[in-house]
Structure 1
């Protein structure tokens, strides 16, 4: 895996190479994002495969609480860019799982995340259906 570049994202900036964003403020600091937000870092890579690997590794580190150790601030916790970068690098280098094993775990996490998105979409559609049904029932009564 090649070295990645991490910068503070500036609103309105676009990136040509494969990239993703990492939330840097709040209790969800370290959470990878597909779309930017005002408080995030951008991780720029060379290939889409590297992007996918680091995106899901970052997700695993965030869910596992590895970024939470580095949170600073009393009102709004945040993670510094160096702490975030070093945590991601440690996740890549010191991972006891062999590279092929890491890819297997990341693929499984990726499949689970995609299924989660599909289910959230179904839940949103059911909520719209419920509102529509209730509105039609109320209209029928009047």
Structure 2
């Protein structure tokens, strides 16, 4: 028996991969090849605009994985101190996207999360990778998250 035979995450990923159409499979294969070859420039967020203002709970921000494609994020918690560091931020990244920073089209829907909530530091704002576009006081019912 191989090590990967019991890997439930690998099985789940392969099932998702096999359900994609051929053009998406080719793009995933190309991206995987880039990672294996050490060409990871395709995986860097693009800069938008720097901000030295401290993010606050409820801030809505955008991030740009590719030119003129902006995804939305939401700050769920601020000033978290743990083993990863001090003064960290818990953010939710959504699959909701826009073609412009100026055209605000975000509607809070936790069923459209791109990833599980993440812990990040202020670096993302000071380097211009996250750019605040709005604020909401109503966070609804965020998904539960926990970090060691």
TM-score by length of 2: 0.25
Q: Higher relative contact order by CA 8 Å / sep ≥ 6: 1 or 2?
A: 2
Larger radius of gyration: 1
Structure with a larger share of its residues in helix? 1
- Greater per-residue strand proportion: 2
TM-score (norm 1): 0.25
